[in-house]
Structure 1
């Protein structure tokens, strides 16, 4: 049966609509690839070279010489379909450069603040893909772990050991704050995030790999929001991995909401303090996992802002919450790690729950507890040295010193010495030439914080090393001495020990000291001859002794 005219027209119209729909991608506006280049431009240049100009446009967000370049890009409402960030990221806190001609960087906190404040909707919220070209950008290992005090707290609240262990594991997973977690929080709802779980290739190596991919990638793949398995496979030998941005339905969404309350620039300081107060009322296991965020926030509120009436009132309400204070301090005193206990007490002082004197008393109580239990170690020594000021005696030290020095433990003496005990200091100095590896390690920790300034002590340690009978202990003692600024007599004493050494490792430790020393204090010709004639055979080729000989000969 022949088609009617009206039916033909209807089919023709439908065909025209279908053709228009099929041809839409070719006529659509070009996708925008935003780049943040804080190190090499290799990745950016490779994308630009391979993507058709009619289908893609590029916007570099970094403005050289301008510190607020990210804020500037946000204010300009740049709409990004894909974001390419290139920079070193080893430490996990910022993208940075090793180029001498550039000084720009991008911190994770700045990215978090922009994301949490929704002040950068074009750069962050419209993204389909993110490419993070930096080491460890999607490293999955937890940056924060759950302490045993959390398990104990859960059991005290009525949970069985098995349930307490299960809940603590969930808390650890939720608050792990791995690099991958942090990037998922920053790029919330972004369908595709590429990065590296460990070491990433340098730009000059990543560029050719990207070239290989882009030359055969389907048209429109970049910025589509679809995972490219081919790209991941190509970079898999250098640890590339892929994930997606956090979704509101995930358990970590509440963690993001909590941390964002401290970073959201739309919230007033008093509202942020009120949020802090609300969090401190929660179960202390959750408070412990939010400690780092609370510390950073309270540290950011300076005296001027605290004196503003509304902010002062919010802090006063928090300081007056005796119930939350009691629960918090009880939990803090039970913390296994001395650093965690110290940090929690410092936060308590910062929010008005402890006076400075009370905070110091809490610290001294912790030191005393660990002295009595015999569990004082390098961590406590480091904390004591951080808190104590060189040459100043802590007023509350006397009662503790009488007990601690009787133990004969070098760690206890080192902690006391950091807090101002001269008797304890002398004991730690003697420990540098002890036979115990643990004692020497404690002494090293102490001397890094409290270098020897007395030439008599330096010379006593230098000559004491020569009387030691264990080569391994001598090496450790020499390493301790290497941290110090040695006078001429001490250097000469160390040099005299070279031909007497019974171990090549001892000779190398001596050479490491001498090669960094002021060689004008040494008899270079005589020392060179001694090194050549007395050195023990090296089992593995040239070493620092050879380097020292060359330096002396060139002087």
Structure 2
């Protein structure tokens, strides 16, 4: 009887023992610390290591750290990402010498591919400590452009607006929707709709939350009202990952057509060909993904019979060619035109010369706009970075079919654009505009110098002398900023800047000078003497900033 009772007790206790063992199994908190460790350390301090296991996925100096975590078979229950976020494509650090970055495309690859089945498989919560990580606004402007195209095709404004909202959600056009695609099925994703707190501030807010609430709301499958309230001043928000029941689930499926590394190149190209059969506006929404796929192809793809067959089918697709080119020529965003003309060239629909003709026709149209400005100058300089468009504005071949030469009249913006296209006379006029008392003209010249810095030492000295002779004010500050983009090492230029620091009446000019000296090669200057000059002649007493950083650096040099 006693043996039977003992066996019965053991049978009753076995489930309880198993439950106890399960209860004490630690949850895994995975951290991706690209920037500040403050948020990670707050989780570690308050959760401890008895019930939680902490795994840092970033391995310093190792570019394939995410793959390394996949190969190690790590399972994350909670994921904390601490990094700056560019609002669309990448998590990045604020340190200039840091090597660790996290492209969103990498997260998509891990989410879609079978090569990493474990990492996100049991995620319950994700914390995205970066600006705009859950911003609901379309970040590329593509959907609005597509809607304007639909209006031109005859749709009513009301219907076009409905299309705008649907397209934005359906194609992951916002950071929020893109994160929902990446972290599919995750019950709670925390992030910020706009500016996020810096790391040390976020860490302090987390400390306050954990002291008040502990871990009771952690990974419970629903957003923590206490956490959202604690971060209310910073606009923290929460969403859930997409599931197959989501009305926009197909958008994730489309994303994975590109991101899944198991798929053959031929299959990915066939999917692109299928996209080209849809309304061209949808093709436009996938331009960035199509570009990345094109850039990943090498010569070996031509030796893949199936891939070569798809590429040949695309090249012969006259209907797709006409739709893409017609859309490109009327698109109102120049960068869209460039991307679509590049697609047409790579698809075999335009030769390199024909693509240049299309680009020159676009630049000629922009050139005549009254609002011509900095963005158009950047575009012209970027398109002619290798000089292959030099002179095209003046030789009667400005656009497709041989357009007339561009009119030489106009202001600084027109001169800078012609300078980007190889005009020596307009380059001289643009550099002269850097000395203008009008800040708007200086800004236009500054845009040109971003792409064509002064490389001749005597010319740089003359430019520095002329900038130093400008009247103190916003125009001079901007001119100094343009000069500061050059890595200044010339002794005469450095001495000119130090002299300007000593005599100017403007604290803002002094700050601009200090910014140049902070980044310059100062080996030609006497560090103690420069430190005394900065300390005794500064005009921003009581304010900390660039000048203090330079003084501190000189103190240890």
Q: What is the match of residue 7 of structure 1?
A: none
Superposed displacement of residue 539, structure 1: 7.5
Q: What is the match of residue 401 of structure 2?
A: none
Find 1:293's aligned residue among 267, 289, 312.
289
**Greater Cα offset, 208-217 or 344-353:** 208-217
Counterpart Cα distance in 1 of 2:22 and 2:531: 76
Q: What is the match of residue 365 of structure 2?
A: 369
SS at 2:119's partner residue? helix
Structure 2: runs of 5+ lacking an equivalent: 1-7, 399-403
Pair 1:293–1:519, CA change in 2 (3 A): closer
Cα deviation digits, residues 399-456 of structure 1 (max 9, x gap):
3688446123322222232232212211211111123322211110111211112344
- Is contact 2:149-2:331 (8 Å) kept? no
- Is contact 1:42-1:207 (8 Å) kept? no
Cα deviation digits, residues 329-385 of structure 1 (max 9, x gap):
111122222222212222222222222222222111111111133443222221222
Find 2:154's aligned residue among 158, 170, 173.
158
Q: What is the match of residue 277 of structure 2?
A: 281
TM-score by length of 2: 0.79
Pair 1:107–1:532, CA change in 2 (3 A): closer
Find 1:481's aligned residue among 455, 472, 483.
483
- Is contact 1:404-1:412 (8 Å) kept? no
**Greater Cα offset, 295-304 or 165-174:** 165-174
Aligned residues: 533
Pair 1:379–1:315, CA change in 2 (3 A): same
Find 1:36's aligned residue among 26, 30, 35.
30
- Is contact 1:112-1:263 (8 Å) kept? yes
Q: What is the match of residue 112 of structure 1?
A: 108
- Is contact 1:232-1:240 (8 Å) kept? yes
- 1:172 and 2:172 correspond: no
Find 1:270's aligned residue among 260, 266, 274.
266
Find 2:333's aligned residue among 334, 337, 341.
337
- Is contact 1:61-1:70 (8 Å) kept? yes
TM-score by length of 1: 0.80
SS at 1:194's partner residue? strand
Q: What is the match of residue 326 of structure 1?
A: 322
Q: What is the match of residue 85 of structure 1?
A: 80
Find 2:427's aligned residue among 421, 425, 428.
425
Pair 1:23–1:275, CA change in 2 (3 A): same
- Is contact 1:38-1:95 (8 Å) kept? no
Q: What is the match of residue 241 of structure 1?
A: 237
Q: What is the match of residue 5 of structure 2?
A: none
Superposed displacement of residue 179, structure 1: 2.9
Counterpart Cα distance in 2 of 1:537 and 1:77: 59
1:114-129, aligned counterparts within 5 Å?
Answer: 114-129=110-125
SS at 1:345's partner residue? helix
- Is contact 1:50-1:211 (8 Å) kept? no
Q: What is the match of residue 409 of structure 1?
A: 411
1:46-61, aligned counterparts within 5 Å?
Answer: 46=45, 49=48, 52=51
- 1:199 and 2:223 correspond: no
Q: What is the match of residue 387 of structure 1?
A: 383
Counterpart Cα distance in 2 of 1:422 and 1:545: 37
Counterpart Cα distance in 2 of 1:469 and 1:102: 39
Superposed displacement of residue 540, structure 1: 5.8
Q: What is the match of residue 303 of structure 1?
A: 299
Find 2:138's aligned residue among 138, 142, 167.
142
Counterpart Cα distance in 1 of 2:461 and 2:239: 59
- 1:442 and 2:438 correspond: no
SS at 2:78's partner residue? strand
Pair 1:28–1:395, CA change in 2 (3 A): same
Counterpart Cα distance in 2 of 1:209 and 1:531: 42
Pair 1:144–1:537, CA change in 2 (3 A): closer
- Cα-Cα RMSD: 4.3
Pair 1:391–1:458, CA change in 2 (3 A): farther
Q: What is the match of residue 207 of structure 2?
A: 208
Structure 1: runs of 5+ lacking an equivalent: 1-12
